[in-house]
C-alpha cells in the first residue's frame, strides 16, 4: 500500500468506545472494545500499521449511537456498523488494505444519535 494521501497516516480507523449511563444503547455495550483490540492486533500482524500506513484509534462518543457499534475510516469518512469480528476482518482487508469500501457494512447517513 503506497502513500496516496498527504499526511502522517494513509488511513485512520476510529472505534467509538463510549459507555452511556442509564442503560442507554451505546457502542461499549455492543463489543466495541473487543473489536478495537482485534482490529489493532490484525492491522499490526498484517504489517499495515505505522507511519504512511494505517492507525487504529479509540474514540469517545461519535454521536451515531443508533447504529452501535460504529467505526469510521478517514480520510474517506466512511462510517461502518459491524456486528462481529468477521466484519472487522472484512473492513481491514477490503478498506484499510485495498482501499475498497465495504458497502454492506456502511452505516446509512440518516442513522444518528
Q: How many domains does the chain have?
A: 1
Is 5 part of any domain? no
CA distances from 38 to 5, 24, 27 (A): 25, 25, 15
| Burial of 102: CB neighbours in 10 Å, binned 0-12, 13-18, 19+ | middle
Is 6 part of any domain? no
* Nearest-angstrom CA–CA distance, 91 and 35: 11
0.95 exceeded by the pTM?
no
Report the percent of the chain where pLDDT is more than 70.
93
Q: What is the CATH number of the domain that holds 42?
A: 3.40.30.10
> Does residue 2 have a pLDDT over 80?
no
> Does residue 77 have a pLDDT over 60?
yes
> Does residue 80 have a pLDDT over 90?
yes
Structural domain of residue 76, as residue ranges? 11-105
Is 75 part of any domain? yes
* Nearest-angstrom CA–CA distance, 95 and 93: 6
Amino acid at each position: 500500500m503506497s502513500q496516496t494521501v498527504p499526511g502522517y497516516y494513509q488511513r485512520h480507523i476510529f472505534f467509538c468506545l463510549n459507555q452511556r449511563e442509564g442503560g442507554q444503547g451505546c457502542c461499549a455495550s455492543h463489543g466495541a472494545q473487543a473489536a478495537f483490540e482485534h482490529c489493532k492486533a490484525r492491522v499490526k500482524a498484517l504489517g499495515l500499521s505505522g507511519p504512511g500506513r494505517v492507525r487504529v484509534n479509540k474514540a469517545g462518543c461519535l454521536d451515531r449511537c443508533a447504529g452501535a457499534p460504529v467505526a469510521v475510516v478517514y480520510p474517506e469518512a466512511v462510517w461502518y456498523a459491524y456486528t462481529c469480528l468477521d466484519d472487522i476482518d472484512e473492513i481491514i482487508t477490503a478498506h484499510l488494505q485495498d482501499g475498497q469500501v465495504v458497502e454492506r457494512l456502511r452505516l446509512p447517513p440518516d442513522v444518528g444519535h
